[in-house]
């Protein structure tokens, strides 16, 4: 595991964008694994800027997102589909047909979940997966629990996550309590993983993740310790010595 500590959110985002753009330039047909949330927004902004400056071409890039709420339409501003269009896809030359986001409105969600993993596999697997981390240690929406799903699946969100994410909803009461998420196996199959951590509220979880050197389903991100190619970029606010 490679740990990079950066001064602040801006520096973390810059480094993350540098890594992503290097990867895309090195493989124009790359399959990206993308994340939503506050953390990757700065990285996306820089990727957009450098695309507009002519440095990076997304025309052959494909992407798979980690998760989505169940029951929200893609036109709902709180959906992750809307988030991705607004924060990245609408501003770069990626084909929308090449951007995959789990469909939280699929008729048969269990069948659809299997198909999502199959599609990732069929496309050749994710080359680099971007992750954030929840204050409770979740990755994607894999919440701390006695058992964690291997493949993409439907999960109940914890009160903690619903509280953390209610800020993205005009009416916090409207946050769904169910989501579809890539499973731990879906994530760990990515060839490379880039975990971004920023802010004071992530200090405790970062400490637990970096100091324990043990895996536990109670801290889903700890499974990243088993992956051969993980880079963590953390800012000083989240990194407590
Ligand atoms: P955040 O979410 O980037 O909004 O903090 C991270 C996560 O829940 O994975």
What's the mean pLDDT in 162-178?
93
Third-level CATH fold of 2-192: Rossmann fold (3.40.50)
Instruction: Give CA 177 to chain center in angstroms.
Output: 19
| Structural tokens at position 145 | 């629990």
The answer on pLDDT for 241 being more than 70 is no
pLDDT given at position 165: 94
**Residue 207: other Cβ atoms inside 10 A:** 14
How many angstroms does the Cα of residue 77 sit away from the middle of ligand 1? Answer: 17
What's the mean pLDDT in 196-210?
97
**Residue 187: other Cβ atoms inside 10 A:** 25
pTM: 0.97
| Structural tokens at position 183 | 């499973």
| CA dist., res. 216 & res. 232, Å (int) | 19
| CA dist., res. 31 & res. 82, Å (int) | 20
CB under 6 Å to ligand 1: residues? Answer: 37-39, 132-134
pLDDT given at position 225: 97
Which residues form the catalytic set? 67, 136, 138, 143
* DSSP secondary structure letters along 98-129: GEE---TT-SSHHHHHHHHHHHHHHTT--SEE
Residue with tokens 């903690």: 160
CB 165 within 8 A of CB 172: no
Number of Cα atoms under 13 Å in the Cβ half of residue 46: 18
Substitution site in 16, 35, 132 for ligand 1 pocket (most atoms within 8 Å of beta carbon): 132
């Amino acid at each position: 595991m490679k740990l990079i500590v950066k001064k602040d959110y801006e520096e973390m985002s810059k480094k993350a964008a540098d890594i992503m753009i290097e990867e895309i330039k090195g493989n124009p047909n790359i399959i990206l694994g993308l994340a939503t949330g506050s953390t990757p927004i700065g990285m996306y902004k820089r990727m957009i800027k450098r695309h507009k400056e002519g440095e990076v071409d997304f025309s052959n890039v494909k992407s798979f997102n980690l998760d989505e709420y169940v029951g929200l339409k893609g036109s709902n501003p709180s959906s992750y589909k809307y988030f991705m269009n607004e924060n990245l896809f609408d501003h770069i030359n990626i084909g929308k047909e090449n951007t995959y986001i789990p469909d939280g409105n699929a008729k048969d969600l269990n069948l659809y979940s299997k198909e999502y993993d199959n599609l990732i596999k069929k496309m050749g697997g994710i080359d680099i997966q971007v992750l954030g981390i929840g204050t409770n240690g979740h990755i994607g929406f894999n919440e701390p629990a006695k058992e964690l799903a291997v493949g993409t699946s439907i999960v109940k969100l914890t009160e903690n996550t619903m509280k953390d994410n209610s800020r993205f909803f005009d009416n916090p009461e409207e946050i769904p309590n169910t989501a579809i998420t890539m499973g731990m196996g879906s994530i760990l199959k990515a060839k490379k993983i880039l975990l971004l951590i920023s802010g004071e509220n992530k200090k405790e979880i970062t400490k637990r993740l970096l100091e324990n050197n043990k895996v536990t389903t109670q801290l889903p991100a700890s499974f990243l310790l088993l992956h051969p190619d993980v880079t963590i970029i953390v800012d000083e606010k989240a990194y407590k010595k």
